[in-house]
Structure 1
Amino acid sequence: MGTIGSILLWLLTAFLLAATMLPISKVARGAIRGLDFPRQQYFLLAALLAVCVFIFVPGWLGGLGGPLLILIGAVQLFYILKFTPLWWRQSVDASDALRGQTDRQVSLLAANVKKSNRDYGALIDLVRRRQPDIAMAIEVDAEWIGALKEALSDHFEDWVEVPNDNGYGLCVMSRLALSETEVRDLITRDVPSVRTRVTLRDGEAFRLYVVHPEPPVIDHDTKGRDSEIAMVGLEATRDVLPAIVAGDLNDVAWSTTTRRFQRLSGLLDPRVGRGFFNTFSATMPWMRWPLDHLFHDARFRLMSMARLEKIGSDHFPMWFVLALAQNEKEEMSPGESDRQEKQETKEMIAEEKARDRKPIGTDWEDE
Structure 2
Amino acid sequence: MIGIKILAGIVIWLSFWSLIPRDEWWFRGADFPRLQILAVGFFTLIVLIFWQAPWDLIREIVLLGLIAALAYQLKMVLPYTFVWKKQVAQVRPEQLDVNRQISMIVSNVLTPNTQYHLLIEQITKHKPDLVLTLETDQIWQNALSTIESDYPYRVPIPLDNLYGMHLYSKLKLIDIDVKFILSEEIPSIHCTVILPSGQPVSLYCLHPKPPSPTEAKDSTLRDAELLIVGDQIKDRDESCIVMGDLNDVAWSRTTRLFQRISGLLDPRVGRKYVNTFHANYWFLRWSLDHVFHSNDFALVKMERLPFIGSDHFPIHVILQTGKVFEKIQEELEQTDADEQEAQQAIQEGIEKAEKEEKMVTDEIAKDYK
Corresponding residue for 2:235? 238
Deviation for aligned residue 1:335 = 2.7
Q: Distance in 1 between matches of 2:241 and 2:87?
A: 15
Q: How does 1:1-367 map to 2 (within 5 A)?
A: 1=1, 6=2, 8-56=3-51, 57-60=53-56, 61-99=58-96, 101-149=97-145, 151-218=146-213, 220-326=217-323, 328-329=326-327, 331-338=329-336, 339-356=339-356
- Is the CA contact (8 Å cut-off) linking 2:207 and 2:247 kept in structure 1? yes
Q: Secondary structure at the match of 2:110?
A: coil
Identity of aligned residues (%): 34
Who is 1:365 aligned against?
A: none
Q: Displacement of 1:241 after TM fit?
A: 2.7
AA in 2 matched with 1:168: Y
CA distance in structure 2 between the aligned counterparts of 1:247 and 1:95, rounded to whole angstroms: 27
Q: For the Cα contact (< 8 Å) 1:94–1:303, is it kept in 2? A: yes
- Secondary structure at the aligned position of 1:62 is classed as helix
Q: 1:343 to 1:231 in 2, by over 3 A?
A: closer
Q: C-alpha distance in 2, partners of 1:59/1:240?
A: 60
- Please state whether the residue corresponding to 2:103 is helix, strand or coil: strand
User: For the Cα contact (< 8 Å) 1:109–1:134, is it kept in 2?
Assistant: yes
Contact 2:241 2:293 (C-alpha < 8 Å) held by counterparts: yes
AA matched with 2:74: L
Alpha-carbon offset, residue 97 of structure 1: 4.2
Change (3 A) 1:65 1:110: same
1:351–1:330 CA distance, 2 compared to 1 (3 A) = farther
Distance verdict in 2 for CA 1:243–1:352, change over 3 Å: farther
Count of residue pairs brought into register by the alignment? 352
Preserved CA contact (<8 Å) 2:84 2:270: yes
> How far apart, CA to CA, are the structure 2 residues paired with 1:309 and 1:13?
35
Whole-angstrom CA distance in 2 between matches of 1:287 and 1:342: 30
Structure 1 residue identity aligned to 2:177: E
SS in 1 for 2:355: coil
Distance (Å, rounded) in 2 between the aligned partners of 1:113 and 1:147: 12
Question: Do the aligned residues in 1 keep the contact of 2:194 with 2:200 (CA within 8 Å)?
Answer: yes
Question: Per-residue CA shift, 1:102-151, capped at 9, x if unaligned?
Answer: 111010011000111011111011100110000110000000011101x1
Q: TM-score, normalised by structure 2?
A: 0.91
Residue aligning to 1:363: none
Deviation at residue 235 of structure 1 after TM alignment = 1.5
Structure 1 unpaired stretches of 5+ = 360-367
- State the 1:94 CA deviation: 1.7
By how many angstroms is 1:240 displaced? 4.4
> How far apart are 1:155 and its partner, in Å?
1.2
SS in 2 for 1:356: helix
Cα drift, residue 265 of structure 1:
0.3
With over 3 angstroms needed to count, the CA separation of the structure-2 counterparts of 1:138 and 1:34, relative to structure 1, is same
Q: Gaps spanning 5+ residues in structure 2: where? A: 361-369
Partners of 1:73 and 1:46 in 2: how far apart?
A: 7
Give the Å deviation of 1:59.
1.3
Amino acid at match of 1:295: F
Specify the SS of the correspondent of 1:244: strand
- CA contact under 8 A between 1:111 and 1:317: conserved in structure 2? yes
Bigger shift: residues 214-223 or 254-263: 214-223
- Distance in 2, matches of 1:170 and 1:93, equals 30
Q: Structure 1: which amino acid aligns with 2:344?
A: E
Paired amino acid for 1:121: H
Do 2:227 and 2:342's aligned partners in 1 also have CA atoms closer than 8 Å?
no
Paired amino acid for 2:294 = D
The residue identity in structure 2 corresponding to 1:356 is E
Report if the CA contact (8 A) 2:16-2:69 is conserved.
Answer: no
